[in-house]
Structure 1
Amino acid sequence: MASTRIEHDLIGDLELSNDCYYGVQTARAKENFHISGVLLSSMPTFIASLAKVKKAAALANFELGLLDEKIKNAICEACDLIIAGKYHDQFVVDAIQGGAGTSTNMNANEVIANVALELMGHKKGEYKHCHPNNHVNLSQSTNDAYPTAFRVALYEKLIELTVSMGILRDSFAKKAEEFKDIIKMGRTQLQDAVPMTLGQEFKTYAVMMTEDIDRVLEARNLVREMNLGATAIGTGINSHPDYATLVEKKLQEVTGRPFITASDLVEATQDTGAYVQISGVLKRVSTKVSKICNDLRLLSSGPRAGLSEINLPPMQPGSSIMPGKVNPVIPEVVNQVCYHVIGADMTVTIASEGGQLQLNVFEPVIAFSLFSSINMMRRAFETLAEKCVNGITANADNCRDYVLKSIGLVTALNPYIGYENSTSVAKEALESGKSVHDIVLERKLLSKEELEEIIRPENMIKPKVVTLTKK
């Protein structure tokens, strides 16, 4: 059996296994918070960001003469190991917790301290050589270390999200090119409207994704401003006068990202408005992607009794009772992810509103909501691209038949045969069941050659100067 050690905190003594790199405060949090079942260990970007903040602080404290070089080196080496992916299993606190993130901060402080102790040749828990609070947490409070690490992680996660969005955008763009010559009926209010190409439909989806990549990158800039150096409420109590300026520089060096110190640290410590705006952008993206998934399901409906303009790649049998049925399972699962993100936006909003006075204690649920939303969106968008969009095929004949049979075709003929003739043709088509195409030819409103020229895809999908031929 592993040996144990005794650690002490405000509550009292606690026996810990020497296998544990975390300490007494983490152990208590582990017992107190059985909430989401999602542990910090499943958030590698956040863990690495915590280590980056602690490394930047150690470098600043050393340069200010507040930290012994040997301790600084050990802390920095421990942080580097964590950034590289080691010891993540020691981050055992539930992501949703009371205490405004104190348990997360102490989990990082204790693991870093104990790794540093071993690097220095000491045993875990021999904190007189490297203490979680006195050394690793020097010049910091949970109230500036936690939100700064959150922002460092969020910056990286938003970059990852744009990569996944780019994959989906490129899939739509490729299909737009593939389908550029396939004429089909455009629809408004689910009714026939005017002709377009299937390529135009898919190009729209690509443009929508491109626009939202820009919105995500704009939102990412909101988290560049951090409050490291604020300590408890923004006054910088217990920190060196030059610490905030210096730690900003060190964090930039450690992360390679343009993080800046807020101009007013008291304001920055309590203001969570950036998270509300970022969450709103995630909701915007999800709302639009969900609409696209609705379109894909509708366009592929059938295959015999629906629109059946496109075919989604069959991924699995669709029913336990109906043989041969194949469901649009990939768009369906992406829809559900989007619904989750839209709901999480309300959580972020309420949690941000719920802060009082100099601190918002609900940042853990904000972090949980944003991280889970981004992770699910990334996986969903890549799944949609790889398992659905890339394999979509077009039913070109169906698309063209709908155009020829549609009453909406008369709108494209209106500039050539006039409004009165168009109305009369539309009425007869509705009453008789004949196609607009056939009625126009029967009435000799246009020759077959003229009609075929008009309904060529390239002549119906863009503006064109037309001289009225029939009045």
Structure 2
Amino acid sequence: MTEPTGSAYRIEKDSMGERQIPADAYYGIQTLRATENFPISGIKPLPTYVDACILIKKATALANGELDCIPKDISQAIVQAADEVLSGKFRDQFVVDVYQAGAGTSHHMNVNEVLANRALELLGDEKGNYKRVSPNDHVNYGQSTNDVIPTAIRIGGLLALERTLFPALSDAIAALDNKAEEFQDIVKSGRTHLQDAVPVRLGESFRAWAQILTEHLIRIETASGDLTLLGLGGSAAGTGLNTHPQYRYKVAEILGKLIDKPLQPAPHMMAAMQSMAPFVCVSGALRNLAQDCVKMSHDLRLMDSGPKTGLKEIQLPPVQPGSSIMPGKYNPVMAEMTSMVCFQVMGYDGAIALAAQAGQLELNVMMPLIAYNLIHSIEILGNALSALTRQCLEGISANRDRCSYYAEGSLALVTALNPYIGYLNAAAVAKESLATGKTLREIVLEKNLMSEGELAKVLDLEKMSAMPTET
């Protein structure tokens, strides 16, 4: 970062010396040093993660003000500054790369400095006058990076789930259920090993996907329960050093009201600060969802393949031209995008697992990586499912004739003949059908293996494809 000259800067000082800070900047000297030390990816903190940190700072300012740990006017100024950031102001001031100092101290101080400098302005003072409002002594009173950042990951995860993934999953489930009803009377050929299998209902394929996503929603909701137990108040090492005896209870209560979640202090603050297990658990549930979303996306692509040389049992909505050289081509782009997002989520999960085991003694210094990967996973998976639902699932149509053609012609129908003509006879019928092109019905009748009436009952596709719960 190039240092400004003339009146365009102010001087700030930390334990390492003095530096020039842009006069209009709300961040301070520690943030400046971090931007110089970590020009790694150009990726700035996720907005949801910033929200989580700011909500924590608002809650801590309120708690410390009520407990008379910091002056009331400073507490209110910090709260007002936090509310301004939450409303969308000063977002360009959070500038530290996501790959940064271990534990997240650089981002944490970025947050403390922005709130302190804006609080100073609100109190009629100048930015950088940290004697009046200090990033460390006031905004960060009773706190440490070591308890704030794991709490921010928890809050950020909860916010991301409520804002993106849970609504997206619910919408996808509803869309799949609607298509299940719409396609319930359509019989198609099942396929196992990518080979002909017994007939199924097209609607049940969609209902199965809806059930799978419903079960994943329940798993993720269960896993996210651990995020409501906070180590906030543990301070530097989990002992609560420099905190008021009531602080951890009060701040959890206030923060819970701010995000409308039943938050409470963890039963052991040191454990909550050291273990990344809650994040690994949520990430694992996301990976599990992603794996099934890839399978569903691939199924949609196979069923839509063609239009002349593939299955083409369904039509995915064409949303954009599919080729720069082949006119009239449309690709299953929403399903393809979904798979790519899911692969990224799986990769993030692997990185989270590695980072979670990399802590030593009283601290895990890999928390910035966990914070970014977990919250980003939730948000991109939610956004992908939302787009898939809106641009694809809701507009799927069925090719009834093609489904019926494959169902009637499937050699797997011979399975239903086993109890009547025996496995070996059934295998011979299937082999002859494949060699001659004759239908199973024709061959069975030619060989007098069953009567026409019996055969009609046995090869009733509607009955064969009915689920056990249907009557």
Q: Normalized against structure 2, the TM-score is what?
A: 0.93
Aligned to 1:222: 226
2:446 aligned residue (435, 438, 442): 442
> Secondary structure of the equivalent of 2:411?
coil
CA contact (8 A) 2:252 2:265 kept: yes
Write the distance in 2 (CA, Å) between the matches of 1:131 and 1:164: 41
Cα deviation for residue 100 of structure 1 reads 1.2
Aligned to 2:25: 20
CA contact (8 A) 2:321 2:329 kept: yes
1:34 aligns with 2:39: yes
Aligned to 1:138: 141
1:104 aligns with 2:119: no
1:308 aligns with 2:312: yes
Cα deviation for residue 114 of structure 1 reads 1.0
1:52 aligns with 2:83: no
Write the distance in 1 (CA, Å) between the matches of 2:393 and 2:467: 29
1:360 aligns with 2:364: yes
Write the distance in 2 (CA, Å) between the matches of 1:201 and 1:447: 33
Map Cα deviations across residues 218-275 of structure 1 (whole Å, 9 max, x no partner).
1111111111011111111122233222222222233321111111111111110111
Map Cα deviations across residues 352-380 of structure 1 (whole Å, 9 max, x no partner).
11111110000101111112212211121
CA contact (8 A) 1:296 1:331 kept: yes
Aligned to 2:264: 260
> Secondary structure of the equivalent of 1:306?
coil
> Which AA in structure 2 matches 1:66?
C
1:64 aligns with 2:67: yes
CA contact (8 A) 1:2 1:17 kept: no
Cα deviation for residue 424 of structure 1 reads 3.5
> Which AA in structure 2 matches 1:235?
T
Write the distance in 1 (CA, Å) between the matches of 2:251 and 2:320: 53
1:150 aligns with 2:156: no
Within-5 A mapping of 1:59-458: 59-159=62-162, 160-419=164-423, 421-446=425-450, 448=452, 451-458=455-462
Write the distance in 1 (CA, Å) between the matches of 2:316 and 2:254: 50
Write the distance in 1 (CA, Å) between the matches of 2:420 and 2:192: 23
Write the distance in 2 (CA, Å) between the matches of 1:287 and 1:424: 39
**Aligned CA distance change for structure 1 residues 463 and 22 (closer, same or farther; 3 Å):** closer
Write the distance in 2 (CA, Å) between the matches of 1:99 and 1:463: 54
**Aligned CA distance change for structure 1 residues 437 and 398 (closer, same or farther; 3 Å):** farther
Map Cα deviations across residues 295-347 of structure 1 (whole Å, 9 max, x no partner).
11111112111112112222233333333332222211111111111111110
Cα deviation for residue 444 of structure 1 reads 4.8
Map Cα deviations across residues 172-201 of structure 1 (whole Å, 9 max, x no partner).
111111111111111111111111111111
Cα deviation for residue 425 of structure 1 reads 2.2
Write the distance in 2 (CA, Å) between the matches of 1:317 and 1:454: 45
**Aligned CA distance change for structure 1 residues 194 and 2 (closer, same or farther; 3 Å):** farther
Q: Quote the sequence identity (%).
A: 46
> Which AA in structure 1 matches 2:27?
Y
> Which AA in structure 2 matches 1:289?
C
Cα deviation for residue 453 of structure 1 reads 4.9
Write the distance in 2 (CA, Å) between the matches of 1:463 and 1:367: 44
Cα deviation for residue 458 of structure 1 reads 3.2
Write the distance in 1 (CA, Å) between the matches of 2:198 and 2:7: 75
Write the distance in 1 (CA, Å) between the matches of 2:444 and 2:85: 74
Aligned to 1:469: none
CA contact (8 A) 1:405 1:437 kept: no
Write the distance in 2 (CA, Å) between the matches of 1:330 and 1:418: 46
Write the distance in 2 (CA, Å) between the matches of 1:269 and 1:446: 72
Aligned to 2:3: none
Q: Normalized against structure 1, the TM-score is what?
A: 0.93
> Which AA in structure 1 matches 2:150?
P
Higher alpha-carbon deviation: 254-263 or 239-248: 239-248
Write the distance in 2 (CA, Å) between the matches of 1:138 and 1:239: 8
Write the distance in 2 (CA, Å) between the matches of 1:208 and 1:129: 56
Write the distance in 2 (CA, Å) between the matches of 1:312 and 1:218: 33
Cα deviation for residue 7 of structure 1 reads 0.5
Cα deviation for residue 396 of structure 1 reads 1.1
Higher alpha-carbon deviation: 361-370 or 60-69: 60-69
> Which AA in structure 1 matches 2:15?
L
> Secondary structure of the equivalent of 2:324?
coil
> Secondary structure of the equivalent of 1:101?
helix
Structure 1 unaligned runs (5+)? 465-471
